Amino acid sequence: MLADHRVIADLVPVDLPVNMMIAVAWARANATLSPDISCETANSTAIYHITTGGLNPFTWGEMENAVIRCFKNNPLESCFRRPKGNILTSNRSVTWNESVLQGI
């Protein structure tokens, strides 16, 4: 995978966007039913964004180490080779890895 080891990986647990969608649906439904809110506000397109990178920073390098450690501690049965999950910083390395190593 092409990435920089030092960059924060913004991994969002699945429950956060699901909870946000439920809360937004409830808020939008109440907005359309409320006489205090105009039709323009209730019918406008709203954009919501969720992120967790600043709460618990986790770099791609730490993710690489965690994945490799997981595969070493929990080996796959009847596996030809262990997935590496290496983070590469060069397009040439990624292309070589995809064409040669994954082609085997």
The domains of the chain are located at: 15-101
Nearest to 85 by CA among 99, 69, 100, 73: 69
Q: How many CA atoms lie less than 13 Å away from 70 in the CB half-sphere?
A: 9
What pLDDT was estimated at residue 13? 82
Tens-place pLDDT, residues 46-91:
777 887 767 778 888 888 888 888 888 887 787 766 666 677 778 8
Nearest to 46 by CA among 70, 27, 63: 27
Nearest to 50 by CA among 26, 15, 25: 15
Between CA 6 and CA 84 the distance in angstroms is: 19
